[in-house]
Structure 1
Amino acid sequence: MQSFVKALGLGAAMAFVANIASAAELTFATGWGFDFYTAEIAKFEKLTGNKVNLIHLPSGDEAKVSQYRLWLAAGDKSIDVLRMDNIWLPGFVNNLVDLTDPTKDVIGEHFPSVVTALSVDGKLLAMPMESDGALLFYRKDLLEKYGKQPPKTWDELTATAKEIQDKERAAGNPDMWGYLFQGKGAEELTCNALEWTNSSGGGNIVEPDGTISINNAKAAAAIDRAKGWIGTISPPGVPAHDSEASRGIWQAGNAVFMRNWLYVWGLGNEADSPIKGKFDVVPLPSDPGEKSAPTVGVKGNAVSIYSEHQKEAIEFVKFLASGEVQKAAVLELGSIPTRSSLFDDKDIVAAMPFIPTMRGGLEGGLVRPSPIMKTKYNEASNNFWIAVNNTLAGKGTAADNLGQLEVQLTDLKGSGW
């Protein structure tokens, strides 16, 4: 814990030694990693003399957000630290402590894209804990069999997926598909679709200044291309598929390529997996001249503005973001760190060979526009994925649906985000 002691500073360490009798009792609400956090909390308690009570939340995101709203709307002083997804933060901007100043000594050790994702209106609302990002999973055995390289462009993906799919079907596997993605009407489709549009020159839903820009020809072409995959290289049921539906087909050995999250790596390499050792990952494709744009998902720990122990709570979230704790989380839970230095850690690279590939995604990854749209993001995202899902399901062209989306977003924006 040397780096954490350094992060606390000499003054805080001296205060602990001199005044352990006045130690604070904190509460930390999370819906994940209970055994891991219990062990790390014990270390923090021993180091600082403070006590932390762990509150177990349900696993569902909606249930967690609803509970947070109840606590924070009531100004509940008994809740100190809350584990937050980056897209939830705009809804709690007035209820959380701005961590910009108290973390300025350590925040530079985290990827800038992560810090951006956890910030609203220039305020850092949560201390980074873990990240995630989308990658292109591919069957290296099948690409080697047919003399192919992992695709770098969407057109290369389309062509390679179709060729190998057709040859594998002819060889006796009628269930083989070329490419899997998540087309179900939900936030995950917003992630998929923004990866298509951003990597094709079609931009985000809005620009950094808040201008609505998604209704453009390149964005429409990218979404129409995805529509063209369905029934040719992607299953007809894709408009109802989430990440687990994709993983099920993939892990059964019935797909050449798949866009998915990093949790799939560990499951696909379990002892009883039919594809154990047969796959690898590369960055998502892009159009020529454009950059890969994987969605960056970030989890962080926020401090309630109603906490009566803000100083100690800030020390706790800095402790959880320390290199030692993040490394332990990687090795024990399979989470992805937010500290750039950990991507060179030999133990982590040995456990997660894809980590070097993931670095590029975090350095230039796509941050959904929740910091720009603030409390209106959820409704805007809903409108967006409905428009995309309608296109995938054959209910209008991308151009028509994006035109209707622009009208909806303009009305939602009103005088500003």
Structure 2
Amino acid sequence: MVPEQREALDESITWMRAGRMSRRRFLERMATLGLTSTAAVSLLEACGGSANSPTGNGAATNLVWQSEQDSTPTYRQLVQTFNETIGHQKGIHVTWNQGPSNTNDLLSKYTNMLRAKDASIDILSIDIVYPAQFAASQWIRPISDSQWPVSEREKYLAGPLKGCTYKGQIWAAPFRTDVGLIYYRTDLVSTPPATWDQLTSTAQQQQSHAKYGYVWQGAQYEGLVCNFVEVLYGYGGRVLDPNDPTQVRVNSPEGRQALERMVSWVGTISPEAVTTYMEDPARLVWQNGDAVFMRNWPYAYLLSNDPNQSQIKGKFAITGMPHGGSNSTGHSSLGGWNLSINAFSPHAEPAWEFIKYLLQPPAQKKAMIEASQTTTLKSLYDDHDVLNRAPLFGQLKPILETAEPRPVSPRYTDVSDAIQRQVYQALRREKSPDEALRDLEEALKKFSNSYPA
């Protein structure tokens, strides 16, 4: 919505409450504003009385939540429940906007909107890699300790919280997360690999039983960043200093070990074509029974156990990322979505009420059970109902506890692009690992010189 559309929306709701607009006219006007019929009916239901408040006087505060894409009814139902309960009590009504299938489209929408200081969306779902960038641009509001005390935040997974933190301040609330996993064939591998050396040697030994030893995401896109940092973190390296994003750490002995290991896989335990693989191409090779190991996200678990499309149902398990060198702990890369408040919205407090509702056990549990979303409230990974419906979540808990975000930077888009280009050139053997890391270091230092103060 542009500001004019938002103004027309508020005006229409006011007229409905005052009895000055018919139901038919209201729905027609909502269609001209670009609202879906579901959103319009939700608004209409909220307009049933003279107000959306327990006393029936005064107009409701109308909020708009722009989410990522949800292919289930879950987000719509969560909004409806809020509007009928907490929203009704506090005079708040939320309209949900479905997100696009391409997350880059959503980023473009936010960028154009927020550069114009547009307040037409109050609550923004943003990818795990963008809180620092949005915070540095002053596009989102910080979440204060009084709103969300440390004692409450401690109930949520540490990794997603790190991704929402910039300069010691929380800028978004982590609603759902995602985590990189190693899938392995239990009919070929008796013990999951603890180190990258073990994964490599086991893949070599078992390759006579499968076409490939290891498939992963080596194409030049965001997935390659996730794969690279998982190997890098496993060797104890970092792209940027976690406490100071202006300090570049990638060109290190650990960085060299990690990139040399990845390059060594291409054409040996991994196909040459792995440099074209994204998530689904790797998954399809794996499901056909053509790989001993695969790196992918939790979404591949149910698909790999579907007998209608998988040759390996019941023949695999998952584990966390291996470690390497002198390091003793592996770290999976985090994905996920966070809830933030538009800095230009005049409704910061009502927006926080809705975000707080989404963080509570009932909403988080519903997202886990009905949408298979990996939410962030730690206690739910031991919840009887959740584990009965989706035992995978019990296996994810220890992996999530050691997972780490991708580099936190106010210029993440540039950081990601530089990692993609240099790591990809190394995988294609267009550069040596040393050259790629040196060039990556130089590029990242240029970005760090232009970070906001």
Taking structure 2 as the reference length, the TM-score comes to: 0.81
Q: Provide Cα deviations, 1:115-160, integer angstroms capped at 9, x if missing partner.
A: 11112222322222101101110111222xxxx3211111111111
**Structure 1 76/207 Cα, relative in aligned 2: closer, same or farther at 3 Å?**
closer
Pairing 1:264–2:300 present: yes
Pairing 1:133–2:179 present: yes
8 A contact 1:187–1:385 mirrored in 2: yes
CA drift of 1:416 comes to: 5.0
Partner residue, 2:49: none
Q: Provide Cα deviations, 1:210-248, integer angstroms capped at 9, x if missing partner.
A: 321111122112211111111111111111111111111
Q: Provide Cα deviations, 1:263-285, integer angstroms capped at 9, x if missing partner.
A: 11121122412222221101111
Partner residue, 1:284: 321
2:416 is aligned, of 381, 385, 409, to 381
8 A contact 1:206–1:214 mirrored in 2: no
8 A contact 1:164–1:256 mirrored in 2: yes
1:310 is aligned, of 348, 358, 368, to 348
Partner residue, 1:10: none
Q: Work out the CA distance in 2 between the residues paired with 1:76 and 1:251.
A: 45
Q: Work out the CA distance in 2 between the residues paired with 1:77 and 1:58.
A: 20
Q: Work out the CA distance in 1 between the residues paired with 2:451 and 2:110.
A: 26
Pairing 1:324–2:362 present: yes
Partner residue, 2:161: 115
Partner residue, 1:149: 191
User: Larger Cα Rg: Structure 1 or Structure 2?
Assistant: 2
Q: Work out the CA distance in 1 between the residues paired with 2:98 and 2:198.
A: 46
Q: How does 1:62-141 map to 2 (within 5 A)?
A: 62-93=104-135, 94-101=138-145, 102-104=147-149, 106-141=152-187
8 A contact 1:217–1:399 mirrored in 2: no
- Alpha carbon RMSD of aligned pairs, Å? 1.9
Q: Work out the CA distance in 2 between the residues paired with 1:208 and 1:221.
A: 23
**Structure 1 416/127 Cα, relative in aligned 2: closer, same or farther at 3 Å?**
closer
Q: Work out the CA distance in 2 between the residues paired with 1:100 and 1:296.
A: 24
Structure 2 counterpart of 1:54, which letter?
W
Structure 2 counterpart of 1:160, which letter?
T
Partner residue, 1:213: 249
Structure 1 counterpart of 2:123, which letter?
V
2:312 is aligned, of 267, 275, 279, to 275
Structure 2 counterpart of 1:177, which letter?
Y
8 A contact 1:109–1:341 mirrored in 2: yes
Structure 2 counterpart of 1:238, which letter?
V
Partner residue, 1:11: none
Query: 3-state SS of the aligned residue for 1:247?
Result: helix
Pairing 1:411–2:446 present: yes
1:293 is aligned, of 331, 342, 348, to 331
Which ranges in structure 2 are unaligned for 5 or more consecutive residues?
1-51
Q: Provide Cα deviations, 1:89-112, integer angstroms capped at 9, x if missing partner.
A: 223211212113312263222122
Q: Work out the CA distance in 2 between the residues paired with 1:407 and 1:244.
A: 33
**Structure 1 213/21 Cα, relative in aligned 2: closer, same or farther at 3 Å?**
same
Partner residue, 2:227: 192
Q: Work out the CA distance in 2 between the residues paired with 1:232 and 1:205.
A: 30
Q: Work out the CA distance in 2 between the residues paired with 1:415 and 1:76.
A: 25
Q: Work out the CA distance in 2 between the residues paired with 1:20 and 1:191.
A: 51
8 A contact 2:143–2:172 mirrored in 1: yes
**Structure 1 357/100 Cα, relative in aligned 2: closer, same or farther at 3 Å?**
farther
Pairing 1:54–2:92 present: no
Partner residue, 1:394: 429
**Structure 1 346/414 Cα, relative in aligned 2: closer, same or farther at 3 Å?**
same
**Worse-matched range after superposition: 289-298 or 130-139:** 289-298
CA drift of 1:18 comes to: 5.1
**Structure 1 137/97 Cα, relative in aligned 2: closer, same or farther at 3 Å?**
same
Taking structure 1 as the reference length, the TM-score comes to: 0.88
Q: Work out the CA distance in 2 between the residues paired with 1:201 and 1:60.
A: 33
Partner residue, 1:28: 65
Identity of aligned residues (%): 29
Structure 2 counterpart of 1:282, which letter?
T
CA drift of 1:411 comes to: 2.1
8 A contact 1:118–1:125 mirrored in 2: yes
Query: 3-state SS of the aligned residue for 2:374?
Result: coil
Structure 1 counterpart of 2:223, which letter?
E
Partner residue, 2:213: 178
**Worse-matched range after superposition: 207-216 or 339-348:** 207-216
Partner residue, 1:226: 262
Structure 1 counterpart of 2:144, which letter?
T
Structure 2 counterpart of 1:233, which letter?
I
**Structure 1 92/20 Cα, relative in aligned 2: closer, same or farther at 3 Å?**
farther
8 A contact 2:131–2:163 mirrored in 1: no
Pairing 1:201–2:236 present: yes
**Structure 1 289/91 Cα, relative in aligned 2: closer, same or farther at 3 Å?**
closer
Which ranges in structure 1 are unaligned for 5 or more consecutive residues?
1-14, 170-175
